Amino acid sequence: EPEVTQTPSHQVTQMGQEVILRCVPISNHLYFYWYRQILGQKVEFLVSFYNNEISEKSEIFDDQFSVERPDGSNFTLKIRSTKLEDSAMYFCASIAPPRDEQYFGPGTRLTVT
Amino acid sequence: AQSVSQHNHHVILSEAASLELGCNYSYGGTVNLFWYVQYPGQHLQLLLKYFSGDPLVKGIKGFEAEFIKSKFSFNLRKPSVQWSDTAEYFCAVNGGTSYGKLTFGQGTILTVHP
């Protein structure tokens, strides 16, 4: 069964550094999402992406965040200047209509020190 | 805005016990409802979903859920749990015009003792 993959599985970075989290969605999927889960809290929606542009973003997704689909297979989340409160598990997901089931990647644990 | 509430943070059961995990949502319009499961060290997997039709939906691994519109609820059930059901369970809702965007509950950790 096809899977969403994410790299790295764990990223440790210093406050103020830029990080890029990578995702490879399932190949025929069209809609892509990033979510995050701070330890002990809910999984929260960050952003949705379709047709090479952001279709919706949450209040969390401020100017420090950006997403890109640079080559038709990867889907990246960039945080320009990380803060301690960005430490979380970041999940990528994708959908192929009309099934409307989101397939999630295994997540990247980001630790900001 | 949508919100989802799961009643129990941690449920501990013995094998063969029956399970019911509560989920309530707040949203006035049409919703799609989901239960996801996350086994230790693994990614979120879809257990079952409700879009329309029969409010009692069956999913994988013997799980089912019932949508009760008047109660804004979508409780997850399993008649007899197994040790392998130990995992975290998330209820999620998609509603409105945001295609695919999920709002999650806080999750319920289920521990099943053999």
Q: Looking at residue B17, what is its pLDDT?
A: 98
Q: Does A57 touch chain B (CB under 8 A)?
A: no
pLDDT (mean) for B32-43 = 91
Residues A35, A90 contacting (CB under 8 angstroms): yes
Percent of chain B exceeding pLDDT 90 equals 82
Residues A66, A83 contacting (CB under 8 angstroms): no
**Per-window interface: B 81-110 vs A, CB < 8 A:** 90, 92, 94, 98-107
- Rounded Cα distance, A26 and A30, in Å: 9
- Tell me A102's DSSP state: P
Put simply, the answer to whether A104 touches B42 (Cβ < 8 Å) is no
Residues facing residue B87 across a β-bridge: B110
- The yes-or-no verdict on residue B70 having pLDDT over 90 is yes
Q: pLDDT by residue (tens digit) across A67-106?
A: 999 888 899 999 999 999 999 999 999 997 776 788 999 9
Q: pLDDT by residue (tens digit) across B10-21?
A: 999 999 999 999
Give the model's confidence band at B29: pLDDT under 50 very low, under 70 low, under 90 confident, else very high: confident
* Chain B CA closest to residue A57: B101
**Distance between B10 CA and the closest CA of chain A, angstroms:** 12
